[in-house]
Every structure is written in structure tokens, then in C-alpha cells.
Chains A and B, each alone.
Chain A
Amino acid sequence: GAGVSQSPRYKVAKRGQDVALRCDPISGHVSLFWYQQALGQGPEFLTYFQNEAQLDKSGLPSDRFFAERPEGSVSTLKIQRTQQEDSAVYLCASSQPLQYQNTGELFFGEGSRLTVL
């Protein structure tokens, strides 16, 4: 597809359940970012990949959060033992490094809305 694709768009989980959120970046985009956006807040940085290398994971809120991009394309954000405070929209964004350096433009997917009951 032409844009960043995320799935599922909506996920309802019971507290304690594990969830996996998928991001398929724009074809050829080397850089991939995950952000968490709570209601009424701006996107909060979680982690960043360049190809398969996870260059920065300083924003992951706890060791229950784990992200991977094993082949340098599709990425999965996994949340173990979900808590109510994990309820948010999880945004994935991709870019080309040179374009990112020059313009800072991130191309966002539509997000995965997670609700933890």
C-alpha cells in the first residue's frame, strides 16, 4: 500500500492479557517509530528502529513493552500483562533517514486504539 498500515485498528483487552500491534511501513522506509498517544495528549515517543536495529527504546514505559522489527520492514509492538493505563492509541510512523534529517517529516499510520478493561 501507499501509506503506513497498522493493525488491528481497534483492540479491546482484559487486564492482564498480552497484545500485539503490527505496523507495516511505507515500502523502502528505513526508519520506523512507535508513539503512544493518550486521550487529549500529544504523541509520546516509545522506540525507534533503523532497518532491524532498535536504536532507541528509552520511551518504553516498562519492561512489559517490547518492540521488534526482525527483517527491517514490518514491526510489532507487544504489550504483556496489559494494565488500564496502557489504554491509548499506538501510532507507528516511518521515514527515510535523509528525508527525516532534512525535513523531520514522519508519515504516520492511522493508529491502533487499545482499550484495556
Chain B
Amino acid sequence: QKEVEQNSGPLSVPEGAIASLNCTYSDRVSQSFFWYRQYSGKSPELIMSIYSNGDKEDGRFTAQLNKASQYVSLLIRDSQPSDSATYLCAVKDRDDKIIFGKGTRLHILP
């Protein structure tokens, strides 16, 4: 089983709607969780980090963490065409290195 699992998509969401991206991880020891965004042909950039159970909001983005279920999600409100990208879920493992999922391709429909 891969350490970080994501649905590869594509996930198509109408402009202005909420996009919901999900991720599960296998190592219960993990304490730090991240969402990176990667535009086609570009390198990943950090958009959210979360360490505690519950929700963390930053502008249109909300990260949600449930350690008991080993589940992380990212909500994007009022989706814009510029949000179209691949979203990478990442987890810092017990050896302190960041492990990425395969990514979910998000397509915002104008």
C-alpha cells in the first residue's frame, strides 16, 4: 500500500462551486500534512499545511484533518479557472521526509 493515496481524477467542478479533494495516508505516526499545487509543466508550490485535527482556513482554502481516520482533505470555495491544476497531498513521515501522493487533477469549468 502506498503511503499517501489520492484519487487521480480528473475532478471537474463548475466555476464558483466548491471543489473537494481527498487523501488518505498509511502511517499513524505522521503528524504533519500538506497540500501542494502543481500547474502543468511547473513545479509544486505549498498552499496549505495542517498539523491538528479539525479545520484550518486560509482564504478560499480549507484543509481538514482527521488523524483517527488517517484522512486529509482540501476544500476550495468559489472555484476559479485559475484553480485548475494538480493538487498533491503530502505527509511528513517518521524519518522527517515529505512523501507525496500521485495528485488529483482538478479542472474548473468556466
Q: How many contacts between A and B, using CB within 8 angstroms?
A: 49
B97 touches A108 (CB 8 A): no
Knowing A40-B8, A42-B88, A91-B43 are in contact, say whether A106-B98 is a contact too (CB < 8 A): yes
Chain B at the A interface: mostly helix, strand, loop or mixed? strand
Q: Which residues of A lie under 8 Å from residue B90 when comparing CB positions?
A: 104
With A and B bound together, what is the CA distance between A111 and B8 in angstroms? 22
CA distance A80 to B49 in the complex (A): 37
Least CB distance, A112 to chain B, in whole angstroms = 11
Interface residues of B (CB under 8 A from A): 4, 6, 8, 32, 34, 42-46, 49, 88, 90, 92, 95, 97-103
Would you mind naming 21 contact pairs between A and B with Cβ atoms under 8 Å apart? Answer: A33-B97, A33-B98, A40-B102, A41-B102, A41-B103, A42-B102, A43-B100, A45-B99, A56-B95, A104-B32, A104-B46, A104-B49, A104-B90, A104-B92, A105-B49, A106-B46, A106-B98, A108-B43, A109-B43, A110-B42, A110-B43
Known: A42-B103, A43-B88. 9 other contacts (CB 8 A): A40-B102, A42-B6, A44-B100, A45-B98, A45-B100, A104-B34, A106-B46, A108-B44, A110-B42
